[in-house]
Amino acid sequence: MSDTLPMPVSTLSKAQRSSILNLVRRAARAEILPRFRNLESGEIDQKKSHQDLVTEADRAAERMIARGLLALFPNALIIGEENVADHPEVLDKVADAELAFTIDPVDGTWNYAHGLTTFGVIVSALRFGTPVFGLIYDPVMDDVVLGETGGPAELVMPKRRKRRTLSVSAGGPVENLQGYLPLYMLPADKQAEMAALLPRFERVLSLRCSAHEMRMLAQGHVDFVLSAGLTPWDHAAGALLCHAPAVMSPCSTAPSTTPPSARLLLCARPATGAHR
């Protein structure tokens, strides 16, 4: 890489963004929805614990999306959640990749495997480790929250041919805030301390699904999302779509330098974090 010549900028055209969305929709119809509430026991495996699951739908959808992205962008680096489990070294290439894509083929796998509809597909495009495009797709409702650098997030409903520009909430004092916090995923020695703070908020929940938690934040329906661990496939798209005004951690798209214990806090507005 030259120290003097600028690197070419990777941008996605409107047609390319549409092709990515159509690819995700096809993968959902072909690999995710047919297996929903129809999984055999042999199609569900544990990863780190019985709370951390992977299904044949995750693997098949990721393979299909990865193939499609490489057909569209032959030189892109593909960062798929399930592939990274077997090849973690690929994360070290993110910061130097002119164009990379992250894929979370079924975010909210525990919900999916247990027959709950709160799951989604997350895809983001990164340029040298920084998100430039992201989408969070709901296969059940067939709609998507998407956006790119410099523009607003939008809710797009393809079947109804409707789209709506989104904005995050205005925030406010702690006692008026609602948000998501995965208490059970925090270190055991921190859970009681965090639980004691929850009554200060108006409402704190967990959907066990970053996709839908980020969608709710992007639409202004909640004021904050706290994630208990950082991964580019879970958080790059959400950070872009919500414009990430408050990130209490290293960059979520720098996994090679991010400690496993890092936390990500996305707030609606800077003022949200100002009321202690």
pLDDT at site 260: 44
What are the backbone angles phi and psi of residue 87, rounded to the nearest 5°? Answer: -135, 70
Identify the H or E element spanning 99: none
Query: What's the rounded Cα separation, in Å, for the pair 239 and 228?
Result: 15
pLDDT at site 246: 37
Cα-based distances in Å from 138 to 58, 133, 159, 255:
15, 17, 13, 26
Annotated binding site for Mg(2+): 81, 104, 107, 234
Annotated binding site: 81, 104, 107, 234
- pTM value surpassing 0.85: yes
Between the two ends of the chain, the Cα-to-Cα distance in Å is: 46
CATH numbers and ranges of domains, the chain? 14-165 (3.30.540.10), 174-274 (3.40.190.80)
Number of Cβ within a 10 Å radius of residue 131: 26
Identify the H or E element spanning 204: strand 203-205
Q: Is 101:123 a contact under the CB 8 Å cutoff? A: yes
CA angle 245, 250, 251 (to 5 degrees): 65
Residues of the chain with pLDDT under 50: 1-10, 245-261, 271-276
pLDDT at site 263: 59
Q: Is 121:139 a contact under the CB 8 Å cutoff? A: yes
Q: What is the rounded radius of gyration, in angstroms, for the C-alpha atoms of the chain?
A: 18
